Amino acid sequence: MTFHFVKLRKIWYLISLAIIIPGLISLMLQGLSLGIDFTGGSLIEVRFQENVNINQVRGVVTEQGYKDAVIQKGDNKDYIIRTSELTEEESENILTALNENAGSMELLRNQRVSPIISNELIYSALWALLLASALILTYISIRFEFKQGIAAIIAILHDVFIVLSIFSLLQITVNSAFVAAMLTIIGYSINDTIIIFDRVRENLRTRKRKESLEDLVNASLWQTLARSINTVLTVMFVLVALFLFGGSTIQNFVLAMLIGVVSGAYSSIFTASPVWVDFKLREKKVS
């Protein structure tokens, strides 16, 4: 007997809520662990006399207790180090450690800097998300139907809240790359959902008279399951490699992507289509 995804949809809803609800509580109580891109901090720019590898600089700064510092290589032998706000003594400790462990260098500047990501930029990103959701809803409503558009938006919000919940619960630092990861996750999630809805539409055209909507959608999910699994595994292989060997600079970005890709595959199968089935069954009861 074929495993029935749709008839067990309440279980999938509960699994999602078991992650999202604690995450929302965590967001209200402790929020996200905002990185210096959001909070601002100190900026140190130095110029080494000899060529120095960026990993050497990062290692020294990390040993001083600033593992979330953002380090960029500038022109020639210059490096820019952004950390949380430092006292004069803490700055001196970093500079001394760099001089002793990375090589002789010259201090170019040491100053406090404002956040890269301002409240205005955050609001702009939220408006962009709302606009994208409206466009997705319009597209799916035209290509399929309005209720499928609503189900797709719910699946997208599911993925966003899953990533936010895990980052809040574990207090993983959020930086500018996290915003890029969230936008990428939205695009990935909707792609798989549209493919499943397309198969549902094809099957509706050849639907047998006695076949229930739940059975039809379940058959559609099975028909697209191999593609969904293969796609998510292919992406995950690359992301896992990046997470392990890509360095600490992109680690949180890759982690957000990993969570989002898994959640996106899950929501396309276990959220979007089952939610649409619930909408259609409720519509049938009302009529």
Task: Compute the distance between CA of residue 285 and CA of residue 287 in angstroms, rounded to an integer.
Answer: 6
Say what the pLDDT of residue 151 is.
Answer: 92
Identify whether residues 87 and 203 lie together within a single domain. Answer: no
**pLDDT digits over 95-132, tens only?**
888 888 888 888 888 888 777 665 666 777 778 778 88
Contact 258, 240 (CB under 8 A): yes
Locate 75 and state its tokens: 């022109």
**Stronger pLDDT, 26 or 208, i.e. the higher one:** 26
pLDDT exceeds 60 at position 166: yes
**Within a domain: 158:** yes
Identify whether residues 189 and 65 lie together within a single domain. Answer: no
Identify whether residues 133 and 270 lie together within a single domain. Answer: yes
Hey, how many other C-beta atoms are within 10 angstroms of the C-beta on 135? 10
Say what the pLDDT of residue 285 is.
Answer: 74
Say what the pLDDT of residue 119 is.
Answer: 66
Task: Compute the distance between CA of residue 40 and CA of residue 114 in angstroms, rounded to an integer.
Answer: 5
pLDDT exceeds 80 at position 36: no
Contact 97, 60 (CB under 8 A): yes
Identify whether residues 104 and 158 lie together within a single domain. Answer: no
Of the candidates 162, 156, 164, the residue with the CA atom closest to the CA atom of residue 135 = 156
Locate 257 and state its tokens: 């992507």
Mean pLDDT in residue range 212-222: 90
Q: Which domain holds residue 181?
A: 9-35+118-286
Tell me the pLDDT of the chain averaged across its residues: 86
**pLDDT digits over 225-243, tens only?**
988 889 889 999 999 999 9
Say what the pLDDT of residue 183 is.
Answer: 82
Identify whether residues 57 and 132 lie together within a single domain. Answer: no
What CATH number is associated with residue 19? 1.20.1640.10
Identify whether residues 222 and 248 lie together within a single domain. Answer: yes
Identify whether residues 59 and 81 lie together within a single domain. Answer: yes
* Most confident listed range (53-62, 162-171, 205-214): 162-171
pLDDT exceeds 70 at position 76: yes
Identify whether residues 107 and 165 lie together within a single domain. Answer: no
pLDDT exceeds 60 at position 1: no
Task: Compute the distance between CA of residue 247 and CA of residue 87 in angstroms, rounded to an integer.
Answer: 28
Residue 196 makes CB contacts below 8 A (sequence gap 6+) with 220, 221, 224, 228, 268, 269, 272, 273
Number of domains in the chain: 2
SS (H, E, C) 138-197: HHHHHHCCHHHHHHHHHHHHHHHHHHHHHHHHCCCEECHHHHHHHHHHHHHHHHHHHHHH
**Within a domain: 2:** no
Identify whether residues 144 and 255 lie together within a single domain. Answer: yes
Locate 85 and state its tokens: 């706000």
pLDDT exceeds 80 at position 38: no
pLDDT exceeds 80 at position 249: no
Say what the pLDDT of residue 271 is.
Answer: 92
Please give the sequence-ordered ranges of beta strands (E in DSSP) within 62-161, or none if there are none: 70-73, 78-83, 105-113
